Structure 1
Amino acid sequence: MAGSKAAFVAALLGATALLSPMAAQAQRRAGPSAREAALEARLAKMEAELAELRTALQASRAQTDAEGAASAARAAQLAEAAQAAVTRSEATAAKLAALEAKPAPEGMRSGNTTIKLTGFVKLVAASSHFANGAVATNSLGRDFYLPQTIPVGSAEGTTDTDFGAKQTQLAVNLASTVAGHRVLGYVETDFQVDSNAAPAISGGGSQRTTNGYTLALRRAWLQVDRLLIGQEWTNFQYVGALPESTDYVGATEGTVFARQPQIRYAAPLSKAVTLSVAVENPESATATLDGPALVENGTDHLPDATARLNLISSRGELSLAGLMRQVRLEASGTGRTQAGYGVSAAGKLWLNAAKSADLRAMVTYGRDISRYVGLNFAPDAVLMPATGRLKHVKVLAGLVAVRVPLAAQWRANLIGSFQQVDYASALPLASIAAYNKRAFSIAGNLFTSPVKNVDLGIEFRHGERELVSGQKGRLERVEFAAKYGF
């Protein structure tokens, strides 16, 4: 019985084994189950989502790459722009530095003309001791050193104190360019010297009340390129030799000194050499035998002719000048003339590299040229009434001055000056006894410039005058000056 059951079970298991593959095969032929279909659907969905993610990732990477390239290009543009800005900034800085280094333009504009006001305000206070007499108040000899006004003889000496601002100067500078030509103009005035003393004093005021004085012309000229026309320092004078002084002139008897109308042409011969020639206003100042007073004749026919050669180097300056003129006057209805001539050498030698120390000098010799030397210390010529003839007058004059820096803003000047006059031997000594024979002066001063454009100076001067007769006069003066230039 037991054996029969075992055989039955084995047969049943074998049949089952045969039926299982057939059932599975039948089930596959019938299609996937619901569970499998759901799994497949989820798998398909996941693959679709994964594909979308891959597409999105690729698009994002492409966009990032494009944006990176754009950013790189923009960064390159910004770097290029920054470099350009730096270059422009450096160029601008260079231009600003150049502009700052260049002197700022001065003056104001009117059309194409630049107008500039210059000059200075100056006060002079002097205490003068005239050892041999008195000098009239409100006269030029009291205002500045004028040796021909020093009293001579044995009269009692006098001491006078004078304050004045007459030397104040005002000037107008004009500059423009017209059709390619440089055109300049200049007008300069002060209150020191007027052609008529009376209006300057009684008409304008007095030292007791208003101290009003008349404005007087000093210089007035126009210049087109190298041609100057108008009133200017004579071409015979080297202005650079004038020493620094509290005085109006400083070395009066020894210097060429004249301002007058002229026509002048200057031609540079090289970088260091300039030649200037001029024809200038003629005027003869003669004296008559037995009378030293000078007379302006006003009957001249020919202009004075001057020439000057200027040489400039790193060591200094040199001027060589010549003068030819005709002295003329009318005597008894007849014109009398004679030729005059003069030569002058002047210069400035720098004594240090900073050019704050220098030696200045001038020496002048001539016949019948006295109005050009020492403010007409002697006559140009002397008239002999008996014959109606003019007699020559010769002059020799010179000056030397040294300027020495002492400390910051401090400097000193030492000045020496002289003039010697020789009259024609045909003139009787008794008839020219009152004529000026010689003059000399020495001076020393101390200047300081406490602030820019302001100069303060004090000076002591000793001067002497001698006549042909041998009579002498002496002056001692202590002078203070304050000047503000602009």
Structure 2
Amino acid sequence: MMKHSLKLAAAGALLAFSGSALSGYEIKLSDDDKLIFGGYIKMDARYVDGDVSYKDFWIGSGSPREDNASQFRVFANETRFNTKYVHGDLTGFIEMDFYGGGGTQVISNSANPRIRHAFINYKNVLAGQTWSTFMNTSAIPETADFAGATVGLVFIRQGQLRYTNGGLQLSIENPESEGGAPDYDNIPDVIAKYTLTGDWGNLSLAAMGRELNIDKDDSETAFGGSVAGKINTFGKDDFRFQVHFGEVGRYVGVALAKDLVNGKVEDTTAYLAAYRHWWNETLRSTFMYGRAETDLGDADNSQWSVNLFNNLTKELAVGFEVGQFKMHNADADSYYGQFSMRYAL
């Protein structure tokens, strides 16, 4: 291996946050073997005002307050790094960020790293932890707020075994009966997805079946569906959307809904729409709205935002975003403004 010289080259990568070109540093070991290092450093300055309690990023649920409050924070927890190992048809990938908790704002603002992805890919089989097959990651809008409108988004990483053949993906994934008796989860979640792709963009259709355990002796089956995609429109513009329906539970909305409520399966309807417009080659805006409702938990939450991003260099993107998170049934809402700067490694 050592007779081959080390060669550094830029390798393009696409992540949901930004339209800036993300590059990985590639070390070529041989014709079939290489290491790729990537990630980004991100700073966020966030201001929130209203009667929904502050969060570093909005999730599908919130905490209504009796009074209005405002809070400002500067943090870098979204910063992440990853390593990709390629040996011919065999690939390994590991990624971590710093949303693992710990630390204090009083002195050091330290934060624990956490695992995001860790998987092995051999030909058309993937094994490990990564985005659920139920997701269409290309349908995630570009936002300063981490992930953006998770209230209407499938957003879940978990252990799985996935088979891919062209546009078809089949997987068995880690089960969890949230709100029930997860100690008795012994049947994996089953997911099937088919993605149509072309010069026009992509469209995915996904279905999911699960067994949810109420207690040791009682269980319910749950089924859900999803339609999502990214459609190219005019010039570099695109329209991204997601619609989720059925007994999708923990898969949608990041803590919006439980799988089971008082022994009954929760039903959820959620959607997200985002349009990204490019003002010129580096300057662009995304206009976004997402909403989700549940039947048993009686949640009805929404989020909208509009932003402006610009690439100062190929690696450095800056942006500002304003928006609102609203809990309709609680008659509570908060507005936020967020400035972000990200350096893609």
| SS at 1:407 equivalent | coil
Match of 1:340 among 209, 213, 222: 222
C-alpha separation in 1, matches of 2:276 and 2:75: 26
C-alpha separation in 2, matches of 1:142 and 1:162: 10
| Mapped contact 1:147–1:465 kept (Cα < 8 A) | no
Task: Write out aligned runs for 1:64-75 (5 A).
Answer: none
Name the structure 1 match of 2:258.
Answer: 379
- Return the letter of the residue paired with 2:243: V
Q: Which has the higher helix share?
A: 1
Q: Which has the higher strand share?
A: 2
C-alpha separation in 2, matches of 1:105 and 1:444: 29
Task: Write out aligned runs for 1:7-156 (5 A).
Answer: 107-109=26-28, 113-131=33-51, 135=53, 142-152=55-65, 155-156=66-67
Deviation track 1:143-173 (CA, whole Å, cap 9, x = no partner) reads 1012412415xx1110000111000010001
Task: Write out aligned runs for 1:229-268 (5 A).
Answer: 229-268=127-166
RMSD: 2.1
Deviation track 1:253-293 (CA, whole Å, cap 9, x = no partner) reads 1011100000001002xxxxx10000000011117xxxxxx
Cα distance, 1:314 vs structure 2: 1.0
C-alpha separation in 1, matches of 2:257 and 2:229: 25
Call closer, same or farther: CA 1:436–1:120 in 2, change over 3 Å.
farther
Match of 1:281 among 166, 174, 177: 174
Deviation track 1:359-394 (CA, whole Å, cap 9, x = no partner) reads 011100012x210000130111112xxxxxx21211
Is the counterpart of residue 364 in structure 1 residue 244 in structure 2?
yes
C-alpha separation in 2, matches of 1:436 and 1:242: 25
C-alpha separation in 2, matches of 1:305 and 1:478: 39
Structure 1 residue runs without a partner (length 5+): 1-99, 136-140, 269-273, 288-295, 384-389, 424-434
Call closer, same or farther: CA 1:215–1:314 in 2, change over 3 Å.
same
Instruction: Extract structure 1 runs of 4+ deviating beyond 2 A.
Output: 102-106, 109-113, 296-299
Name the structure 2 match of 1:421.
Answer: 294
| SS at 1:143 equivalent | coil
> Which one has a bigger Cα radius of gyration?
1
Call closer, same or farther: CA 1:360–1:422 in 2, change over 3 Å.
same
Match of 1:404 among 277, 284, 288: 277
C-alpha separation in 1, matches of 2:309 and 2:29: 38
| Mapped contact 2:25–2:37 kept (Cα < 8 A) | no
Cα distance, 1:108 vs structure 2: 1.8
Cα distance, 1:183 vs structure 2: 0.5
Aligned pairs, number: 325
Name the structure 2 match of 1:185.
Answer: 92
| SS at 1:402 equivalent | strand
| Mapped contact 1:130–1:151 kept (Cα < 8 A) | no
**Greater alpha carbon shift after TM alignment, 403-412 vs 118-127:** 403-412
C-alpha separation in 2, matches of 1:464 and 1:311: 34
C-alpha separation in 2, matches of 1:339 and 1:160: 43
| SS at 1:253 equivalent | helix
Match of 2:213 among 308, 315, 328: 328
| SS at 1:249 equivalent | coil
- Return the letter of the residue paired with 2:90: V
| Mapped contact 1:150–1:474 kept (Cα < 8 A) | no
Match of 2:124 among 198, 213, 226: 226
Deviation track 1:165-198 (CA, whole Å, cap 9, x = no partner) reads 0000100011112xxxx00110010001x2xx4x
| Mapped contact 2:60–2:255 kept (Cα < 8 A) | no
C-alpha separation in 1, matches of 2:44 and 2:299: 30
Task: Write out aligned runs for 1:469-484 (5 A).
Answer: 470-484=329-343
Q: State TM-score, norm by structure 2.
A: 0.89
- Return the letter of the residue paired with 1:304: D
| Mapped contact 1:122–1:481 kept (Cα < 8 A) | yes
Call closer, same or farther: CA 1:108–1:476 in 2, change over 3 Å.
same
Q: State TM-score, norm by structure 1.
A: 0.64
Is the counterpart of residue 457 in structure 1 residue 319 in structure 2?
yes
Is the counterpart of residue 169 in structure 1 residue 65 in structure 2?
no
| SS at 2:55 equivalent | helix
C-alpha separation in 2, matches of 1:400 and 1:119: 27
| SS at 1:462 equivalent | strand
Cα distance, 1:110 vs structure 2: 5.1
C-alpha separation in 1, matches of 2:194 and 2:327: 33
Cα distance, 1:109 vs structure 2: 4.2
Match of 1:352 among 224, 228, 234: 234
Call closer, same or farther: CA 1:401–1:105 in 2, change over 3 Å.
closer
| Mapped contact 1:176–1:183 kept (Cα < 8 A) | yes
Call closer, same or farther: CA 1:471–1:126 in 2, change over 3 Å.
same
Name the structure 2 match of 1:32.
Answer: none
| Mapped contact 2:59–2:255 kept (Cα < 8 A) | no
Is the counterpart of residue 395 in structure 1 residue 261 in structure 2?
no
Cα distance, 1:472 vs structure 2: 2.2
